[in-house]
Amino acid sequence: MTCPTKMLAVVNCRQLVTLAGPARPRTGAELRDLAIIPNGAMLIREGRIAAIGSRIEIPPDTEIVDADGRIVLPGFVDAHTHAVFAGTRADEYEERALGATYAEIAARGGGIRSTVRRTREASEADLLCSARRYADWFLAGGTTTIEAKSGYGLSLDAELKILRVIRALGADRRLRCVPTFLGAHEIPDEYRGRIDDYVELVIREMLPRVVEEHLAEYCDVFCEPHIFDPPRARAVLSAAKSLGLGIRMHADQFSADSGALLAAELGAATADHLESTTLVGLAALAKAGVQPVLLPASVYNLGSTRYPAARQMIEMGLAVVLATDFNPGSSPTASMPMVLSLASTHMKMTPAESITAATVNAAWSLGRGREIGSLEPGKVADFVIHDCDDYRELAYFFGREPAVSVFAGGACVYRHSA
């Protein structure tokens, strides 16, 4: 690992993709402006960017990182993941290949609830061990920050356990983690048919403890008429808001508009999924300045063709974000390059728009826009050298992870071993 206090110069970057620009999320045509410096270089002092340009002064005693004519980007910021869980659902994946649907599997007690059962049984140490394994996958894809949700515990103790694992993962100082409390992800087995009692538990017992122990920055709810309908989602999110948490929402994944309208009403930071949102919901999000977080890998992996209307969102001035939705059911991928490919092929976002959505816009959606998401003087030196000649190759060559080395705060935290 390079020493974060030392000066570091990154040289010989064929394209230094800075995403420098206004200090706010990018909209409309701005999404296509990556502010690329050809043959660029960057000086890093004490973990932050000190200078960047086509020529920089390199003081004596500076460690040199030679990008070797490759491209350099800010680390991806993955603004929607469920990275802490036990076991896999490879068995259900096989069942889906044989014709069962995600909804059928969930209705008979599988799906999220099967992961909950296993996660409740797992020790904190075991969960941290698997989370570290997944952290390597995120880094291998060039991601340096993730938002990580709880939501596979669904009891006070198990939710706190997951959030402590997220905190411990971030404390490794490899992958930055922004924690979100998702107690309202599903109704656990012991509360079937008693949704309101479970909502009470989330509001009266879980939320206050999560806030008291500073275990989350955001609260999320899976808002769908058959799970947490808008009145129940509103109750949870309003309670979270009054306790000082920011709001994110699983909105309109399967049914139209009520999630987006609630996100707009509550002034959420993000409304995520939006595969079923119509113009009415999108207009409300645009008016309220809520950022849409699009998750094409979950659409792909569920075998659906209903991708969110990214082009329409961009035309309406929404500050679009892309994320993996990494989880054991609908989206078992930690790969942001895969998400870029899906966004270009299926949502007709250009590679430049996708990169903006996966870096600077994602950083703003997590309240980190002044620190990370672009390569500009003063910002934290989270950057990645990718084995590409041109940034478009990140989306174009799919099914590979082009990251060669990954730096967080100026320290090398991952190197691809060929």
Which residues are at the interface with ligand NIG (CB under 6 A)?
82, 111-112, 115, 222, 250, 253, 298, 325, 327-331
Q: What's the min distance (Å) between Cβ of 329 and ligand NIG? A: 2
Check if the beta carbon of residue 324 is closer than 8 Å to that of residue 340. Answer: no
Q: What residue ranges in 368-408 does DSSP mark as E strands? A: 383-386, 403-408
C-alpha span between 123 and 373 (Å, rounded): 34
Interaction partner, residue 27 (ligand NIG, Fe ion, none; CB < 5-8 Å by kind): none
Stretch that binds Fe ion, among 56-64, 163-171, 275-283, 325-333 (CB under 5 A): 325-333
Check if the beta carbon of residue 211 is closer than 8 Å to that of residue 243. Answer: yes
Using rule CB under 5 A, residue 325 touches Fe ion:
yes
Check if the beta carbon of residue 220 is closer than 8 Å to that of residue 181. Answer: yes
Interaction partner, residue 114 (ligand NIG, Fe ion, none; CB < 5-8 Å by kind): none
C-alpha span between 283 and 281 (Å, rounded): 5
Q: What's the min distance (Å) between Cβ of 104 and ligand NIG? A: 13
Check if the beta carbon of residue 324 is closer than 8 Å to that of residue 334. Answer: yes
Q: What's the min distance (Å) between Cβ of 151 and ligand NIG? A: 7
Q: Which is nearer to ligand NIG, 253 or 354 (CB)?
A: 253
Q: Which is nearer to Fe ion, 162 or 375 (CB)?
A: 162
C-alpha span between 21 and 296 (Å, rounded): 26
Neighbour tally for 305: CB within 10 Å? 7
Q: What's the min distance (Å) between Cβ of 290 and ligand NIG? A: 17
Using rule CB under 5 A, residue 78 touches Fe ion:
no
C-alpha span between 128 and 84 (Å, rounded): 8
Interaction partner, residue 222 (ligand NIG, Fe ion, none; CB < 5-8 Å by kind): ligand NIG
Using rule CB under 5 A, residue 220 touches Fe ion:
no
Check if the beta carbon of residue 235 is closer than 8 Å to that of residue 262. Answer: no
Q: What's the min distance (Å) between Cβ of 273 and ligand NIG? A: 7
- Both structure tokens of 317: 């001035």
Q: Which is nearer to ligand NIG, 95 or 371 (CB)?
A: 95
In the complex, which residue's CB is closest to Fe ion?
Answer: 325
Q: What's the min distance (Å) between Cβ of 44 and ligand NIG? A: 35
C-alpha span between 195 and 11 (Å, rounded): 57
Stretch that binds Fe ion, among 45-53, 98-106, 107-115, 321-329 (CB under 5 A): 321-329
Backbone angles phi, psi at 290, to 5 degrees: -85, 135
Residues of the shown chain interacting with Fe ion in the complex, contacts defined by CB under 5 A: 325
